[in-house]
Structure 1
Amino acid sequence: MAKPTAKERILDSYEEILIEQGPGGITLEAVAAHAGVSKGGLLYHFGSKDALVDGMMERLARLSDEDIERARKAPEGVVLYYLRTAITDVTMQKPLHRTTMATIRILLNEPRVADVVKTYNKKIHDMISENVDDPLTAELVILVGDGLYLRAALGGEDPSHLLDRMDEISARIQR
């Protein structure tokens, strides 16, 4: 695997600080130090805190689009992929999960972040709706996926035991 670029390390550090400390922990100096670059190096790639947010939103959009593409090509189908990855993305600490968690930390303070999240949610809704005949059932699939994701992400009861029952869960929702 290729070593991450300085720009990627900076975004990784920005996300990690957001996840661990929230927006109050973000200074350009803290992000640069965490990434192992000078403040000037950070400013070369991201000229401001706003540019860091923009960079993270670009990453979220890219990772989300890649995930939707994987879902569309998944041998098990879109619904099972969506439900399964709601758990596995968290337990395996996939990049999309980390970016999503960092995004949640700034969502209330950054209106442009809400726009990116709404766009991704609409793409998910459209993808599920294209693959589930009944609109209410499509909504239920999304709600179950969201619930599985939040349960896994927030550290409540670990939903991993449900992975072996995804076929049954999908069948019940669609019944």
Structure 2
Amino acid sequence: MSSARDRILDAYEELLALEGERYATLDAVAAKANVSKGGLLYHFPAKDELSNALCERLVALAAEDLDEMRSAAEGPARYYVRTSRYEGTALDRVLVAVSRLQQAGNPRARAAIEEASNNWLALLHAALGDLAMARAVKLIGDGLYYNALYRSVDGRPDPSAGDDELLAVIDRITGIAT
């Protein structure tokens, strides 16, 4: 069973992702988390603290993904592109929620997203040895992710057709013989 603090963060994350920052009020978060408003305020005395905790969650989950990317047998470039689909993972959910905070002008959200993005790019650059190549791989993955996110929000499944062909392109870009 998750702690009340985790349930509150989960509820805030879900409300942000589905309804937006305007509707993620403290009352709505408390109701969704099935805690009293006093219970919410015990864990997060201000809404900014709730937002900051969600940004910290993004940074932590992105760091875990970076570790997996770094140690992936297929290499960081293939890993990045292969995993660039919205699948409703914890990282996916928090990334969408923090993006909503960023859209509302939250500077901590912007910093958290930039940190994650810069770290992914830095790892690709270190692995590939060429910043332009790393940027190209990252933009391919980001484009796939955006397309998958758009389709999932719109209620349409995201077909994986063409993934093998894209991975073959990544292999050509990075000089990996298949």
TM over 0.5: yes
- 1:56-135 equivalence runs, <5 A: 56-87=54-85, 90-91=86-87, 93-108=88-103, 109-135=105-131
Separation in structure 1 between the aligned mates of residue 65 and residue 162 of structure 2, nearest angstrom? 21
More helix by share: 1
Change (3 A) 1:157 1:8: closer
Separation in structure 1 between the aligned mates of residue 73 and residue 41 of structure 2, nearest angstrom? 43
Separation in structure 1 between the aligned mates of residue 60 and residue 162 of structure 2, nearest angstrom? 28
Contact 2:82-2:167 within 8 A present in 1 as well: no
1:166 deviation in Å?
4.8
Q: Which runs of 5+ in 1 are unaligned?
A: none
1:44 match: 42
Q: List per-residue Cα deviations over 1:35-81 (Å, max 9, x = no partner).
A: 11111111111111101101101100100100000111111111111
1:138 match: 134
2:164 match: 164
SS of match in other structure, 2:83: helix
- Deviation >4 Å, runs of 4+: none
1:163 deviation in Å?
3.3
Q: List per-residue Cα deviations over 1:109-140 (Å, max 9, x = no partner).
A: 20121111111111111100011122211110
Change (3 A) 1:69 1:159: same
Separation in structure 1 between the aligned mates of residue 134 and residue 57 of structure 2, nearest angstrom? 27
TM-score by length of 1: 0.91
RMSD: 1.6
Aligned pairs, number: 170
Letter in 1 for 2:96: M
TM-score by length of 2: 0.89
Contact 2:13-2:93 within 8 A present in 1 as well: yes
Letter in 2 for 1:127: L
1:101 deviation in Å?
0.5
Aligned with residue 17 of structure 1, among 15, 18, 33: 15
SS of match in other structure, 1:37: coil
Separation in structure 1 between the aligned mates of residue 163 and residue 5 of structure 2, nearest angstrom? 35
Separation in structure 1 between the aligned mates of residue 150 and residue 15 of structure 2, nearest angstrom? 17
Q: Which runs of 5+ in 2 are unaligned?
A: none
Contact 2:81-2:167 within 8 A present in 1 as well: no
Aligned with residue 24 of structure 2, among 23, 26, 48: 26
Change (3 A) 1:5 1:162: farther
Identity %: 39
